Structure 1
Amino acid sequence: MNFSMLVVKTINELRSELNKIDDSSDVGLVPTMGALHQGHMSLLEKALSENKKVVVSIFVNPTQFNNTEDLEKYPKTLDNDVDLISSISKNIIVFAPAVAEIYHDKVKTKIYDFAGLDKVMEGEFRDNHFNGVGTIVETLFSLVKPKRAYFGEKDFQQLRIIQKLVEIQKIPVEIIGCEIVRENHGLAMSSRNERLSKTIRQNAAFIYETLKIAKYKFGMESVLKVKDWVAKQFDNSADFKLEYFEITDVETLTPAKNKNIDIKYRAFIAVYVEGVRLIDNIAIN
C-alpha cells in the first residue's frame, strides 16, 4: 500500500481531516465500492479539477445487494485501489470504513419515495436495491457535506435516483453525472469485468455493439420492433443471456411504448455472462 496516501477508516478520523480544510465548503465526493478502474479515475480527475479537496469513499454497501452471493463475490482490493488513487493525486482523502462503522450494530435500509424511478429495470430485478443506494449515499452526504458529488452514467438509473434523493431530502449538493468510460473494444468499464474470462471479456463488446445498432434502428423503426430485434440478437447468442432491454424517457425512466419527438430517450440493458451481471446504456435521440 502507498502509505503517503491518507486513508481513514472511522467517522471520527474523517471529521478530523475535514475540519483541517480551510474552505470546507469546497469538497468533492466520489462514492465507490472499490475495485477501482479507469472509469472511477475519470470521476476523480473531474472532481480534482473542480474542488479544493476530494474525498473518495470505498465501501461495499450490503444494503444495496439483494443477492448475498453477489455481495460475497464483489472484489475487495483496497491496497490496489489506494495505489491507483495515489497515482493521480495525494490530495485525496480515502474513506474506507467497515460495515459496523457505518451501520453500527444494525444494517438497516431507509425507505424512500423515488416517484417510480426505482420501480423499473434495475428496481424490477433487484428488490430494495435503490433504497440501499439511497441509504448509503445520504449517509455519505451527511458525513462529508460535499459541495459536489460525482457519479458515472453507466449506472444512469442510479444517477437519476440520486438526483431525486437530493431533491426530496433537500440536500445542498450538486450531482454531476460523468460519461461512461469504455474498454478499447467498447465494453463499459466495471469492477465486475475482472470476473470475466479473457475471451468473454473481449466478446462482451457485443453488448455495446447491440446498443449502437438499436440506437440507429430507433431512428427508423418503432420501439417494439427495436426491442424485438435486440431480443433476437441475444436469443442467437450462446454466451450472453438478456435480462432486460428497455427504452425509457430520460427524465421519468418510464418505458416507452410510442415515440414522441419532444422526449429524450435512453436505451438500457442488463446481461448475464459467465454468471456475471453487466449493465450498459446509451442515449438514443
Structure 2
Amino acid sequence: MRVIRTIEQLREALEYLRGGGHTPIGFVPTMGYLHEGHASLLRRAAEQSGTVVMSIFVNPLQFGPNEDFAAYPRDEARDLALAEREGADIVFMPSVEEMYPQAIRTTVSVSVLTDRLCGASRPGHFEGVATVVSKLFGIVQPDYAYFGLKDAQQVAVLRRMVSDLNMNVKIVACPIVRENDGLALSSRNVYLSEEERRQALVLSRSLREVRAALEEGKVRTVNEAKAMLQSVISSSPLAVIDYAEILTFPALEPLEGNSRLLEADGELIIALAVKFGRTRLIDNNVFTAKEVHALV
C-alpha cells in the first residue's frame, strides 16, 4: 500500500497503473477516523475494482462556523492500518494547503435536493461536499466511487451531481453498518458520553418500530408515521430532534401528510437527525412499499 500526499504524485502513480492496461479504479473518499463502515466500503471496492484508492481528508469547506472542524477526530496510524488490512492500494492524504492552495473561487452546488434535511440544518454543507468530491473525482478519475447509505442525502446529492455534469464515474451506495445493538457507525460516536450512547439507540429503534407498524397496518399515512417517529425518539430524555422526515428517494421530495405510504411508488426514505448533548447523529431507512407488502 502506498501513502501519497500530493496531487502530482497521485496522478503519476495512477498514470503508471493505467499504462499497464486499464484496470478499473475504485475510490473511497473519507474524512478518516475509520471504522467498520469504511472497511465495508473498501471491501466492496476490492470486489469490483482492480485498484482501490482511498482518500483521507477532513474537508474544511463542509463545516459551518460553529461546527467541529478543529476537533474532528483524527488518527493517522490507526487509519492506515485499517486501510492496508482491508485492501487499499493507495491512500491519498493531502493537506488542506494541497487541496486548496489559494482562496477557492469555484464551487459546486446542487440545488433543491439540498434544501431540506441536513441541507436545511447545515447551510453550505453540501456545497462543500460536492466541491471537494468533484475535485477528488477530477484528480483520481475513478470508475466507481463508494459511499455509505448512512449519509443517504449525500448519496442522492452526489448521484445528481454526477448525472448533471456527465462525470464518468458510477456512485455505488453501500448498506449502513451498525453496532450489534443497532447504533449506526459514525466517526462522531466517539463524542457520546456513556449515557448519551445508550440513549442514542432510540434512533435505530424508532426506525424498526415504524417499519413494524407499517407491516402490521397500525400506521398508514405519512403523518401517522412521522408522529410515531417523534413519539418514540422523544421517549429518550436526552434526544433533541432536528428532523424526522419521510421523503421520496433519491429525489428527496416531500409527501402529502395524508397519503398512504404503502401506496407510494418507488423508494422512500425515513430520515432522522437527532442531537444527544453536543453530538448530532443521523440515521435512516430506505425502502419501497413493495418490500413492506412482501413482509405482511
Alignment TM class, shorter chain as reference: over 0.9
The 5 A counterparts of 1:69-218 are 69-89=67-87, 91-108=88-105, 110-114=107-111, 116-218=112-214
Aligned mates of 1:9, 1:140 — CA distance in 2: 13
Q: Secondary structure at the match of 2:189?
A: helix
* Structure 1 residue 44: Cα displacement: 0.2
Segment drifting more, 221-230 vs 149-158: 221-230
Helix, strand or coil: the match of 1:256?
coil
Whether 1:37 and 2:35 are equivalent positions in the alignment is yes
Task: Measure, in 1, the Cα distance between the counterparts of 2:172 and 2:33.
Answer: 21
TM-score by length of 1: 0.93
Specify the alignment match of 2:294 in structure 1.
none
Q: Could you tell me the TM-score, scaled by structure 2's length? A: 0.89
Give secondary structure in 2 for the equivalent of 1:105: coil
Name 1:12's counterpart in structure 2.
8
Q: Please tell me the residue identity of whatever aligns with 1:44.
A: L
Once the two structures are TM-superposed, the CA of residue 202 in structure 1 deviates from its matched residue by 3.5
CA-atom RMSD, angstroms?
A: 1.6
Corresponding position of 2:227: 228
1:233 Cα deviation (Å)?
Answer: 2.6
- Equivalent AA in structure 2 for residue 267 of structure 1: I
C-alpha contact (below 8 Å) 1:109/1:132 kept by paired residues: no
Deviation string for 1:70-100 (max 9, x for gaps)?
21221111111001111223x5100010111
How far apart, CA to CA, are the structure 2 residues paired with 1:254 and 1:121? 11
1:266 aligns with 2:264: no
Which residue is equivalent to 2:284? Answer: 281
What letter corresponds to residue 65 of structure 1 in structure 2? F
Partner SS, residue 70 of structure 1: coil
Cα deviation, residue 261, structure 1:
3.1
For residue 58 of structure 1, what is the aligned residue in structure 2? 56
Which amino acid counterpart does residue 199 of structure 2 have in structure 1? N
1:63, 1:108 within 8 Å by CA — same for their partners in 2?
A: no
CA distance in 1 between counterparts of 2:276 and 2:202 reads: 12
The percent identity for this pair of structures is 37
Secondary structure in structure 2 of the residue aligned to 1:127: coil
Q: Following TM superposition, by how much is the alpha carbon of 1:67 offset from its aligned partner in structure 2, in angstroms?
A: 3.9
Q: CA deviation at 1:277?
A: 0.6
C-alpha contact (below 8 Å) 2:149/2:155 kept by paired residues: yes
Question: How far does the alpha carbon of each residue in 1:223-251 deviate from its partner, in whole angstroms, 9 at most, with x for none?
Answer: 11121222223333211111100000113
- Stretches of structure 1 that go unaligned for 5 or more consecutive residues are none
* Structure 1, 58-67 or 143-152: larger mean CA deviation: 58-67
- Between the aligned partners of 2:105 and 2:122, the Cα distance in structure 1 is 17
Q: Report the secondary structure of 1:189's partner residue.
A: coil
In 2, Cα distance between the equivalents of 1:248 and 1:54?
Answer: 33
Deviation readout 1:91-138 (Å, 9 max, x if unpaired): 510001011111112145614243x11111011111011111110010
| Separation in 2, partners of 1:268, 1:129 | 17
* Cα drift, residue 144 of structure 1: 0.3
Where 2:205 maps in the other structure, the secondary structure is: helix
Asked if structure 1 preserves the Cα contact closer than 8 Å seen for 2:28 and 2:147, the reply is: yes
Query: In 1, are the aligned partners of 2:23 and 2:51 still within 8 Å (CA)?
Result: no
**Equivalent pairs, count:** 279
Question: 1:47 maps to what in 2?
Answer: 45
Corresponding residue of 1:28: 26
Instruction: Give the gaps of 5 or more residues in structure 2.
Output: 290-296
Partner of 1:256: 255
Aligned letter for 2:48?
E
CA displacement 1:236-269 (0-9 Å, x = unmatched): 3211111100000113101222234323211000
